[in-house]
Chains A and B, each alone.
Chain A
Amino acid sequence: MSRTVLICDDAIFMRTMVGDILQQAGFEIVGEAETGVQAVEKYKLLRPDLVTMDIVMPDMGGIDAVREITKHDSTARILMCSAMGQQALVVEAIQAGAKDFVVKPFQPSRVLEAVTRVLAA
């Protein structure tokens, strides 16, 4: 059975891109979220094996979403998707419970390496 993923990003472009990379690697995209609030709701509903989380999103940012999700499920495997220059925010996200991070622009190999690490941990 393939692993399930919830993709959280406010940009369709980024969601499509991450989705394509993961789908090609055999993951099943079970849901997408455009805001932090949606991310938390969909996580509770879908219980995916993996969450990719953008940092800056409207209506609750990614970091708060990580906090909410891990409060609900401490074993949640969340991969942060950050842009260059967001080092401090990534640190915060990791402290909030995210397991790893990738930096935009995405290189498929790096995304998959990170995903593998998150799922192995």
Chain B
Amino acid sequence: MDQARYAELFRIESREHLAEIDAALLVLEQTPDAAHIATLFRGTHTIKGMAGAMGYSSVEQVAHALETLLDRLRSGVQPVNADVIALLFDGSDALRITLDDAANGRSVSTSTAVSAMLQRLAAPHQTPISSSAFRTPRAVPGLQHHSEPGRDFVEIFGAVGVPAGETPATPLSDARVVEIRLRADCQLKGVRAMLVLARLNALGTVRTLTPPQDVWQEERFDGVFAATFVSSADAAQIEAGVRGAGDVARVSVRTPEPARPARGVGSDAMRTVRIDLRRLDTLLDLVGELVITRDRLLREADAAVDKGADRALARAAHDTARLVSALQDEVLQARMVPVGQVFDRFPRLVRDISRDLGKDVQFTTEGREIELDRSLLDAIGDPIVHLLRNALDHGIEEPETRLAAGKPPTGQLVLRAGRDRAAVVLQVEDDGRGIDRAAILLRAQDQGLIAPDVTALDDDELLAVLAHAGFSTARAVTSISGRGVGVDVVMTRVRALGGTLELETLEGEGTVFTLRLPVTLAITRALLVQVAGETYALPAAHVVEVLEPAAGTIVTSLAREWIQVRGELLPVIRLRERFGCPPSGDEAFMAVVEASGKRTALAVDALITQQDIVVKTLDVVRGSAALFSGATVLGDGSPALIVDIGSLSG
């Protein structure tokens, strides 16, 4: 038994269930209904089962207590009220704590807290219970079963070995597991499944169905189901019978092995596998190297053909290159996950914070299906938390204040994901008071960040001030935000990810923070340029155009150099100067780049080429003049620094 692997699986799965539990609790708080109690019960029940299998007794205890309470809610013995909801939230927290402790191999340090929680959870039971029937969870069809294929089949194996409380009428050797998948284009899958069931019933006795039949008529039934089936018919007869029902894509008939361990059973119905993230990272790294080698191979092959080598060599090289590109796309795709996975944890967070602050907030998420590279997804969590906290703490007003300002008492907070060409756009929008420009200006002038004669700040300038490390306007330091680590942390993180941050705010109306991120971190298109004999990479997403300035088009004004490009006067930045290299003063090329809506012309010595580069992150000290967002290794093995366009113009 590979205990570590199970522990990992347990950790991942229990987190998912906890997220589900929290989501269901949030809904239940608004509208108590049986379906969400059922979801809670199911999640808790599954965690209890898994914890039992792992020997995590504290988790099991908490889950059991929660489950017992939920069962009372389900049966109507205990009415759903605010106290119960609060208790459930606390119970879910206790579950999370014990889960974390267990998963990290900590002996239960929280045992006092846990036993207190257990007592609280048990408290409602002290009201008289007339019948012992309430003590045992009632067998409600559908509740004990999940529709997740892998686990379902595992449960079935258990059920076949020991049909609960009954002696098998037929010898066990005749028991089979029949797994059926209906064709994807099958219409009314639930009805078709019924027809399959009728065929099975004609051949023998169906013991259990997974998912149970009452789920079949639901929208989410995907036409994959399994039956434990006792019959004297052979596998071929069973398969033919099932196929006779029509629209069957696949049937498998197997004899379960009672001694088989529950875990690690491969199921034909399983269409996904969990892969260790490190494997995917390694795979991506290798593909990255392959991409670099591909470019070199193409160059070498073309050169060889020029020198008289057989054209077949070039063709083979180009075929290989095409395959490598396809492989790269696939690997990148395999790493994509919907942002919804991260969004899941925010409703609970927003609820807790708005409660603490005494604010009434409706939180909505949009674009949960938008996909992002796995590594980015992990990295965006913290910045979003900061922005949400800022919005709750500083943006959205107390209900009375809102009413006085003629606004509805409930504030709106929206977390939105969307695609914009090669970028993923994340927005945190609130309809709160907006940012007080005058106050920020005053404070910034106090701290010497802004010249005393400046009278107004536009959105970009405002953002620049807010993003200045250590700047804070919070009148009192709250536990939520205002410790001076808010926007600057977000800005640093977002830049490190190769993204940009934008701000729009209107006093009295609200604030929108917009994060623009590359879809994937790992491989990006870049323009390679030469500055003082070294090669640098400019991320192509930021490059608007390149040009060869004619003599005399660069003018000096206000102690800065400018160049006129199609009627627009752009500031010129000489990279030699910026990188501390000896100036030449007559760089031959300009790359016009855009960041945060601002265009700048970068003067470089030479343009080399445009190509895909594999991004390696650099450890940059926060707050230092980070001119580079990363590094890459070029086809010839030499390194090149990736210029952080966002930090150049700032």
Q: Tell me, yes or no, whether A16 is within 8 Å of chain B by CB.
A: no
Q: Are A82 and B244 in contact (CB under 8 A)?
A: no
Digit string of B164-205 for contact with A (CB within 8 Å is 1, else 0)?
000000000000000000000001101100110010000000
Within 8 A of B (CB), among A89-104: 90-91, 94, 100-101, 103
CA distance A103 to B190 in the complex (A): 13
Residues of A within 8 A of B188 (CB): 82, 87, 90, 101, 103
The residue that B190 contacts in the complex, of A91, A113, A117, with Cβ under 8 A, is: A91
CA distance A94 to B245 in the complex (A): 12
CA distance A87 to B198 in the complex (A): 17
- Determine the interface band of chain B, counting residues with CB < 8 A from chain A: 10 to 19
Q: Tell me, yes or no, whether A121 is within 8 Å of chain B by CB.
A: yes
Closest to B246 in A: A117
Q: Tell me, yes or no, whether A45 is within 8 Å of chain B by CB.
A: no
Digit string of B231-251 for contact with A (CB within 8 Å is 1, else 0)?
000000000000011100000
Residues of A within 8 A of B244 (CB): 117, 120-121
Digit string of A102-117 for contact with B (CB within 8 Å is 1, else 0)?
0100000000011001
Closest to A104 in B: B187
CA distance A101 to B189 in the complex (A): 11
Q: Tell me, yes or no, whether A88 is within 8 Å of chain B by CB.
A: yes
Residues of B within 8 A of A113 (CB): 246
Q: Tell me, yes or no, whether B217 is within 8 Å of chain A by CB.
A: yes
Main secondary structure of the interface of A (DSSP, over half): helix
Q: Are A88 and B187 in contact (CB under 8 A)?
A: no
CA distance A100 to B198 in the complex (A): 11
The residue that B246 contacts in the complex, of A88, A94, A100, A103, with Cβ under 8 A, is: A100
Digit string of B356-385 for contact with A (CB within 8 Å is 1, else 0)?
000000000000000000000000000000
Q: Are A87 and B191 in contact (CB under 8 A)?
A: yes
The residue that B195 contacts in the complex, of A82, A88, A94, with Cβ under 8 A, is: A94
Of residues B187, B194, B245, which shows the largest number of chain A Cβ atoms within 10 Å of its Cβ? B187
Digit string of B243-264 for contact with A (CB within 8 Å is 1, else 0)?
0111000000000000000000
CA distance A44 to B190 in the complex (A): 32
Q: Are B194 and A87 in contact (CB under 8 A)?
A: no
Main secondary structure of the interface of B (DSSP, over half): loop
Residues of A within 8 A of B194 (CB): 91, 94
Min Cβ gap B242→A in Å is 12
CA distance A101 to B246 in the complex (A): 10
The residue that A88 contacts in the complex, of B198, B217, B245, with Cβ under 8 A, is: B217
Q: Are A100 and B217 in contact (CB under 8 A)?
A: no
Residues of A within 8 A of B195 (CB): 94, 100
Min Cβ gap B256→A in Å is 29
CA distance A121 to B195 in the complex (A): 12
Residues of A within 8 A of B246 (CB): 100, 113-114, 117
Residues of B within 8 A of A88 (CB): 217
Within 8 A of B (CB), among A50-93: 82, 84, 87-88, 90-91
Residues of A within 8 A of B245 (CB): 117
Residues of B within 8 A of A120 (CB): 244
CA distance A103 to B195 in the complex (A): 15
CA distance A117 to B191 in the complex (A): 15
Min Cβ gap A48→B in Å is 21
CA distance A113 to B185 in the complex (A): 14
The residue that B187 contacts in the complex, of A91, A103, A117, A121, with Cβ under 8 A, is: A103
Residues of B within 8 A of A101 (CB): 188, 191
Min Cβ gap B24→A in Å is 26
CA distance A121 to B244 in the complex (A): 8
Residues of B within 8 A of A94 (CB): 191, 194-195, 198
Min Cβ gap B80→A in Å is 29
CA distance A119 to B77 in the complex (A): 53
Closest to B247 in A: A113
CA distance A66 to B188 in the complex (A): 19
Q: List the interface of chain A (C-beta within 8 A of B).
A: 82, 84, 87-88, 90-91, 94, 100-101, 103, 113-114, 117, 120-121
- 6 pairs from A and B in contact (CB 8 Å cutoff): A87-B190, A91-B194, A94-B191, A94-B195, A113-B246, A117-B244
The 7 closest A-B pairs by CB, nearest first: A103-B187, A90-B191, A117-B246, A87-B188, A91-B191, A90-B188, A87-B217
Known: A87-B191, A100-B195. 14 other contacts (CB 8 A): A87-B188, A87-B190, A87-B217, A90-B188, A91-B190, A91-B194, A91-B217, A94-B191, A94-B195, A101-B188, A101-B191, A103-B187, A114-B246, A117-B246
